[in-house]
Amino acid sequence: MLRAFENRMLREIFGPKKDEVRRNWRILQNEELNFLYSAPPIIRVIKSRRISFCGACSRYEREMRTGFWWDDLR
């Protein structure tokens, strides 16, 4: 659903494309949108940030267990 929403917003931003052969307007396909936008898909960005956040949480929890983090407060 998130990918469909992203493509719908990109279609609104870039608008329709004039077909040179048939001389009519058409909606851009997903591959054309990805080529024009040239950024990683939103799902890949969210997953990478989620993994990064999990790594930060695991380091935070480890610091609390060792007492390293609490030493800075005293």
The residue ranges of every structural domain in the chain are 2-73
pLDDT at 36: 84
* Among 27, 23, 31, residue whose Cα is nearest residue 15: 27
Pair type for strands 17-18 and 25-26: antiparallel
| Under 8 Å between Cβ of 24 and 33 | no
Three-state DSSP class for residue 21: coil
Would you write out the chain's pLDDT as a tens digit for each of its 74 residues?
A: 888 888 888 888 888 888 888 888 888 888 888 888 877 877 888 888 888 888 777 777 666 655 555 555 55
Gap between the Cα atoms of 27 and 15, Å rounded: 7
pTM of the model: 0.48
